[in-house]
Amino acid sequence: MTIRANERVSYFNGKIIPESEVLIPFRDRGFILGDAVYDTERTFGHKIFRLKEHIDRLYRSLRYLQIDPGLTPAEMTAITEEVVERNLHLIDRDEDYWISQRISRGYNKEGRWAGGEFVPTVIVECENLPFKARAPMFRDGIDVIVASGRRTAPDMLSPRAKTHNYLNFVMADLEMQGQPGHPWAVLLDAQGNISEGMGCNFFMVREGILMTPRERNVLPGISRAVTMELAEKIGVPLQERDIDMFDAYTAEEAFLTSTSLCICPVGTINRNPVAEKSIPGPVTRRLMEAYSELLGFDFHAQYMRRLERPAAAAR
């Protein structure tokens, strides 16, 4: 089969084929039950960042759900690198990719509830990062709004597994639709403390101390781990602790971390401006600079180059 040069390709159950030819059976349990796991990386200057850590987390999620992808971590790593390499000709030098591995339990010809062996569905794919859409967040800060729904409690389903079951976050995101600006939803846990948002972890700064929710209640993001490592390296005190709304409203700085954003400052929480007037605040800026130094790549500048109008004056 000839792969068209102007179409991205993906790995699908043993073959690399054009994206448009990746077809999942409608009885696949990932589709009908959300019975699937995934992980996501990004490139910086076309190089994948911390792929090993992401693959390790992917296989922990697979083990938690008792899904066997039929591939070793080394094989999954090699496939991921090949998919990226075979798609690089489609993007410019200043563009980068999101890359995802997606594995479902698959389907059983005897029926969705049948015992016996399921045939897993394994996909590795990539897509362009949305730099233009997200560039204003780096200039003005993200507007965070606490959604009305709560994060699924860890004694019900562990948030440390990165699964396709994202309805908590989907409902929160739908709640943000139609609101002024482009607010980012963050959920509280069952005790009323901040947990996380869709694909992102929350950090705040007060009296020079960096704080983030406890790992038990959130997906421990790779970018979260990098930020914590950098905080220790540059001498910023760090606490993993419960963060309630009083803490959030009295924060001097706040930011979100994610694979795509790395570190992005928060401008408002429930429409209340964070106390620090500059965006980003001094601690956030130091961490962003340390992140870029670690990468050998200025991720902040990559976003800022996409702005369509001059930066607004600092608040």
The predicted structure's pLDDT at residue 3? 54
| 79 and 164 housed in the same domain | no
Within the chain, what is the greatest distance between any pair of CA atoms?
A: 63
Is 249 contained in some domain?
yes
Domain final position from 88, 114, 129: 129
Concatenated DSSP letters for the chain? -PPPTTS-EEEETTEEEEGGG----TT-HHHHT--EEEEEEEEETTEESSHHHHHHHHHHHHHHHT---SS-HHHHHHHHHHHHHTTGGGS-TT--EEEEEEEEEEE-TT-TT--S--EEEEEEEEEE--HHHHHHHHHH-EEEEEEEEEPPPTTTS-TTS-BS--HHHHHHHHHHTTSSS--EEEEE-TTS-EEEETTEEEEEEETTEEEE--GGGS---HHHHHHHHHHHHHT--EEE----HHHHHT-SEEEEEETTTEEEEEEEETTEEPS--SSS-HHHHHHHHHHHHHHTS-HHHHHHTT-SSPPPPP-
Is 312 contained in some domain?
no
| 180 and 122 housed in the same domain | no
| 204 and 264 housed in the same domain | yes
Buried b (16+ CB within 10 A) or exposed e, 273-295: ebebeebbbebbbbbbbbbbeee
The predicted structure's pLDDT at residue 182? 86
Is 309 contained in some domain?
no
Q: Number of folded domains in the chain?
A: 2
Cα 155 to chain center, whole Å?
Answer: 23
Is 87 contained in some domain?
yes
| 88 and 216 housed in the same domain | no
Is 165 contained in some domain?
yes
Range of the domain at 146: 134-304
The predicted structure's pLDDT at residue 109? 74
| 70 and 205 housed in the same domain | no
Is 4 contained in some domain?
no
Distance CA 187, CA 185 (A): 7
| 124 and 169 housed in the same domain | no
| 151 and 284 housed in the same domain | yes
| 116 and 175 housed in the same domain | no
| 67 and 113 housed in the same domain | yes
CATH code at position 279: 3.20.10.10
Tens digit of pLDDT at every position of the chain (315 positions): 445 578 999 999 999 999 999 999 999 999 999 999 999 999 999 999 999 999 999 999 999 999 999 999 999 999 999 999 999 999 999 999 999 999 999 988 776 665 668 899 999 999 999 999 999 999 999 999 999 999 999 999 999 999 999 999 999 999 999 898 889 999 999 999 999 999 999 999 999 999 999 999 999 999 999 999 999 999 999 999 999 999 999 999 999 999 999 999 999 999 999 976 789 999 999 999 999 999 999 999 999 999 975 544 443
| 77 and 159 housed in the same domain | no
Is 315 contained in some domain?
no
The predicted structure's pLDDT at residue 113? 63
Domain final position from 81, 101, 129: 129
Is 314 contained in some domain?
no
| 99 and 181 housed in the same domain | no
Domain final position from 89, 108, 129: 129
